[in-house]
A and B are shown apart, each in its own frame.
Chain A
Amino acid sequence: MLLITCPWCGPRAHIEFTYGGDATVDRPADPDAVSAEEWLDHIYLRDNPRGPHVEWWQHGAGCRGWFKVRRDTWTHRIHRSGPPGADLGEDEPR
């Protein structure tokens, strides 16, 4: 089972959380100014890396807050988590 650290509640079991997908995808600031290609990119296309991935999780069975986690999609190792504005930076050394 994944042990996920909520920035506000601390480490909790995976079953308390809901996954929210790739957190590097930003909604275009001015929807009227974007082209069809940019919408395509935002809504549908993903890097889908095998390796480190910064992603959204929600602590549904706790504080209900959304936050970011940096996790490896190949090993399931969780590097770190932080509040929505956090820059989760580089990998931790093994």
Chain B
Amino acid sequence: MPDVRYSIFSLARNALSHHQGWPLAWRSPQPKREYDVVIVGGGGHGLAAAYYLAKLHGISNVAVVEKGWLGGGNTGRNTTIVRSNYLLEANAHFYEHSLKLWEGLTRDLNYNVMFSQRGVVNLTHNDAQIDAARRRGNAMRLNGIDAEWLSVGEVRSMVPLLNCSPGARFPINGALVQRRGGTVRHDAVAWGYARAADACGVDIIQNCEVTGLRIDGGRVAGVETTRGDIAAKKVGLAVAGNSSRLAAMAGLRLPIESHVLQAMVTEPLKPVLDTVVTSGAAHVYISQTDKGEILMGGDLDFYNSYAQRGNLPTLEHVIQGAISLFPFLSRLRLMRTWGGVMDMTMDGSPILGKLPVEGLYMDGGWCYGGFKATPGAGWCHAWTIANDAPHPLNAAFRLDRFHRGALLDEKGVGASPQAH
């Protein structure tokens, strides 16, 4: 495989040949009969796990098996917000590890993932929200993570187009900001990890759906796919939204419901918003893409769904919230809307670790927020597979926490997947 590093020099060299000479970024090999590790799911998580297995653990006889195309799942459908502003200790350390990996990822992968640390601003609208935000901010700082409290005046000067008037539908009385948070170009994350994993010898196999798991005497033996059976000593699942279906192939039931989450973009504008703004009360998060579109996401549709599309009332609800914060949005036309299917767990936190079948591992249950987790989850998943034991960073995300009553309920809302 040709190893061409992307750089100003290779760019200049290829310009001379009118960019006709670039090699493919990754191969498309036929699946082999057997691998040491098969990762199911070619989203950012699965590709990252394969990359770190090869790069950090010396396990490169690995295949990533994807039923569609790379990043065609939630990796390519999300609103790309990354942050580590969590209250609970286990979440804080895990997401901070992930954020640190984001900070070095473009260099590590030799692929520009367009990480933009434009800050993530969580608005507050009442006294109770101020208390909760400041408590979370203090917890973050105690965990060594950046957090800053902003007064209304500071919010207004940072985001001039926000409706900060006292008569607003959701009057703003402050905000918690994490300046190291921001956005990443989602497709580039899948492509960058794929290219880097391929360069380490990982086989990336697209258009290949896993239809069954081979289990032999309580141990995983491989996967059955639409392109034939593949034997494997270990199998890692990274199939966001479809975790219950894959687990069922091993006879397991999970504390998960699949739900659809929608997002949308407006027509492109000149730059008007250079940070990410979120509001829990208005049920909306907003940023502006590099192409100029205003990107908005909000709530689930709130019923079990495996359809990658939702309904208009939910979009209307999100748009109402967005317009209450940014009145200028009412003049824009919506360009596209879409949906993705997500694993909603019973406590709102992920499941990342061993499953009760030898050699079977899972990275799923990410609810609304697994894009930011991509590097950290791939890193921990690879560690867990290589060592057959969780790393301390993902030890709290074990499946048996539900059995032990050791839930990680960041919001304190109880066992309700819709509430997280």
Contact = CB atoms under 8 A, between A and B. Distances in A.
B305 A21 contact: no
A1 B313 contact: yes
A64 interface: no
B68 interface: no
A53 B304 contact: yes
B307 interface: yes
Contacts of A13: 313
Given A1-B311, A43-B415, A50 B402 contact: no
Interface residues of chain B: helix, strand, loop or mixed (majority): mixed
Interface in A64-78: 71, 73-76
B257 A19 contact: no
A19 B302 contact: yes
Interface in B397-420: 402-403, 415-418
B313 A15 contact: yes
B307 A75 contact: yes
A14 B33 CA distance: 49
Contacts of B417: 21
A47 interface: yes
Query: Does more than half of chain A's interface fall in helix, strand or loop, or is it mixed?
Result: mixed
Contact of B307 (A36, A43, A47, A73): A73
A1 B313 CA distance: 7
Nearest to A41: B253
Contacts of A37: 403
Contacts of A45: 253-255
A46 B312 CA distance: 27
B258 interface: yes
| Most central of A44, A55, A71 by chain B CB within 10 Å | A44
Given A44-B402, A44-B415, A45-B254, A50 B313 contact: no
A87 B245 CA distance: 25
A74 B303 contact: no
Residue of B245, B257, B346 with highest tally of chain A CB at under 10 A? B257
B313 A48 contact: no
Contact of B303 (A15, A19, A43, A50): A19
Interface in A29-65: 36-37, 40-41, 43-48, 50, 53, 55
B340 to A, nearest CB: 15
Contact of A36 (B245, B306, B403): B403
B346 A22 contact: no
B244 interface: yes
A18 B302 CA distance: 8
A78 to B, nearest CB: 11
B311 A46 contact: no
B258 A73 contact: yes
Given A2-B311, A55-B303, A50 B258 contact: yes
B346 A44 contact: yes
Contact of A47 (B253, B305, B346, B418): B253
7 contacts: A15-B313, A22-B304, A36-B403, A37-B403, A47-B244, A48-B254, A48-B257
Interface of A: 1-2, 13-15, 18-19, 21-22, 36-37, 40-41, 43-48, 50, 53, 55, 71, 73-76
